[in-house]
Amino acid sequence: MRTKKNLKLLAVLFLPIALSVMLLTSCKSEAPVSGTLKSEPSDRYEIKRSAMVEEQIIARGISDKKVITTMLKVPRHIFIDKSQRDSAYEDRPLPIGMGQTISQPYIVALMTENLNLKGDEKVLEIGTGSGYQAAVLAEIVKEVYTVEIIPLLYNQAKERLAKYENVKTSNHDGYYGWEEFAPFDRIIVTAAPDHMPQPLLNQLKDGGVMVIPVGPPGWNQILYKVIKEGKDIKTIEIAGVVFVPLTRETKE
Ligand code: SAH
């Protein structure tokens, strides 16, 4: 009887200690390598990223498996400045410098889903910005061509996207598309022009899809899905949105 009681006491005293030691050791083995941007296969934002996909993307009706698995995988935090990194998985756009923003995660998912990607496409993106949307596309499709008008953002994104062999970047006014590599199966525009740019419609393949916000700067913009069927252009409204304007001059 006495020994049993003592044993119980020992267990009560030492079990929590043993468990904490086990827990500490397992946490330690998962801790990030300090000072590096080590992000795959696991990183310290993995839990936040899963919550982002669960609560902001799946819960709002995005069902394309390719979009979901890709957004679980791509480390969104490395596409923004270190000072903003802890906010990377929040439900909002974030500043990326030069008055520009990285789109809210849900908008990235919504636009990507509306491109109806199978995986073998050649996609043109106008508005590279941080490079995040281009990385999401690069994980899904065969070739990505992405255009950014601001040299500083172009240079940063080019570096971040260097690990993707299927991404080509360019620093020019994307209103004119990218003639050299046209036509494209899909086009995605992540800055809003006030009208549908004709050069982009011309560079879309027959049967191709373009997802584009159109409207005045800062308000009343609509996200469209444009389907090219021969000479016919079918336009479907997806949602009301707010994007930075598509500008027309190269800035320093
Ligand atoms: N897709 C981006 C979001 C970028 S915000 C991301 O994932 O982070 C829109 C970007 O479009 C800005 O970087 C802006 O500089 C760029 N942009 C605006 N007008 C443009 C134009 N005419 N050609 C190319 N890029 C343009």
Residue 9 has pLDDT above 80, yes or no: no
Global confidence as pTM: 0.84
Q: Domain residues of the chain, as ranges?
A: 91-241
| Residue ID of nearest Cα to ligand 1 atom 16 | 127
Length of the chain: 252
91-241, what's its fold?
Rossmann fold (3.40.50)
Task: State the Cα torsion 10-13-15-20 to the nearest 10°.
Answer: -150
- Express each pLDDT in 18-70 by its tens digit: 434 343 333 333 333 333 344 455 789 999 999 999 999 999 999 999 999 99
Residues 6+ apart with CB under 8 A from 169: 128, 134, 146, 147, 148, 154, 157, 158, 161
User: Which residue from 100, 156, 178, 214 has its CB within 8 A of the most atoms of ligand 1, so it is best to mutate?
Assistant: 100
The CB of 132 under 6 Å from ligand 1? The reply is yes
Residue 71 has pLDDT above 80, yes or no: yes
The CB of 153 under 6 Å from ligand 1? The reply is yes
The CB of 138 under 6 Å from ligand 1? The reply is no
- Express each pLDDT in 155-174 by its tens digit: 999 999 999 999 999 999 99
pLDDT for the residue numbered 102: 96
Residue 249 has pLDDT above 80, yes or no: no
pLDDT for the residue numbered 32: 36
